[in-house]
Amino acid sequence: MFISETQIRVRYAETDQMGYVYYGNYPAYYEVGRTEALRQLGTSYHNLENKGIMMPVIDLNIKYLKPAKYDDLLTIKTIIKEIPKMRMHFFYEVYNSDNILLNQGETTLVFISMERNRPVACPKWLKEIFEKSFNLY
């Protein structure tokens, strides 16, 4: 298992008329979480794309528990529970600065060859990064 944490401050534009984070913004927070998780592992989406792999989201689940508000400092915990094969599953927990769990989510991404526009297995070099990181825990 690999766990990454990153923080993001809620901007005014991300809130609705009630002052709460608009529900549609959470997937963008998840994207920040998984982008930073990959970076913490030692790679990036940019690196994947340069090597001919794209990773579109094919499934998204969200559970709203409590609202986040303007100017809250949120911690996005991104959890990767298993070494990816054809798909990669990310789990998210969003906390406020009082460490209250506000939101939970999950995304599934698939590895796609940019050359063939077809699903492929997780690249060997990426799988090795995960194996090294998972051995740290």
Task: Please identify every residue annotated as catalytic.
Answer: 16
| Phi, psi torsion values for 27, nearest 5 degrees | -60, -35
Longest dimension (CA), the chain: 47
Residues whose CB falls within 8 Å of the CB of residue 109, separated by 6 or more in sequence, listed in order: 34, 55, 56, 57, 58, 87, 88, 90
